[in-house]
Amino acid sequence: MTPRTLFSRTRLSIAGAALAFPLALAGCTSATTSTTSDAPATMPAPAGHVHAISVDPVTTEVLLATHDGLYDATGESSVKVGTNTIDLMGFTPTADPQVFYASGHPGPGSTLPNPVGLIRSTDAGKTWEPLSRQGQSDFHALTASRDNLVAFDGELRTSTDGITWDTSTATFAPAVLASNPSTPIVLATTEEGLQRSTDGGKTWEPVPTAPLMQFVAFAASAQKAPTDVAGVAPDGSVHVSTDAGLTWTATGTVEGEVQAITALAGDAGKPAIWASTTTGIQNSTDGGATFSSATP
């Protein structure tokens, strides 16, 4: 099952969502879909289901965290990063371009426990080291804010060091957690609507005026803390916020079944957006008004 199927206009109870999200995501597999003749041309996805996509704000290197490990999709063909095969269910970059955090399941030949808990790479994804909750946590949602790591494994948790964790009193089940290493603001997409934290995921408030979205991403910038955020609804409609998730404007539509998104700062209110779909990666340079084929 792909993440989009978890989002419907029929609301689940909070308790039901907390159970359904991790179980359904754990069983997701790579999928293919047909596209209509008027859909934008895209290139094939490199390997399996894409759980996260990251674009470096300085180099614009494109990384895909997939069922089969981490891939560099910057060039005309994707290249696997390192020799580890880890099903990267959760993945997040940090302020240091060499440091990533991830979670998921060990692949063939891996000596990591299942689930792998929180793991860290300090060489841009070539190798990984276990940090905490090995054999306990499969963080399907994971992000790095200015002050904390924020993660979800059936419980919403925060950590300042990746080793010790505090459990939040929040009862919602996020499909996606989004932040940026230069801001304390964290957004969470849920079937009940968008949730927003201004203290690194410790406390949360709903954003009742926000559209129902499955994916959100702060528009990363090398110069300043981001305030532009891109979001994609279950029907593929794209929305942009210029005030860190408080208000939103509809801009366009991304075709195909979206698996993950990311964004970089562009002109005010028009971030560059990358969307990984089951047929390839699409890119928008006008805040989601139009999309075209990007990388493999």
Domain residue limits, the chain: 3-30+40-293
Nearest to 53 by CA among 18, 96, 100: 100
30 within 8 A of 67, measured Cβ to Cβ: yes
Beta bridge pairs of residue 88: 104
- CB-hemisphere CA count at 13 Å for 149? 29
Nearest to 156 by CA among 147, 144, 169: 169
**Quick one: CATH architecture of 3-30+40-293?**
7 Propeller (2.130)
C-alpha to C-alpha distance for 201 and 71, rounded to whole angstroms: 29
Q: What is the pTM of this model?
A: 0.85
69-72 and 79-80 strand pairing: antiparallel
Residues of the chain with pLDDT under 50: 1-6, 8-47
Structure tokens at 139: 């963080």
pLDDT at 73: 94
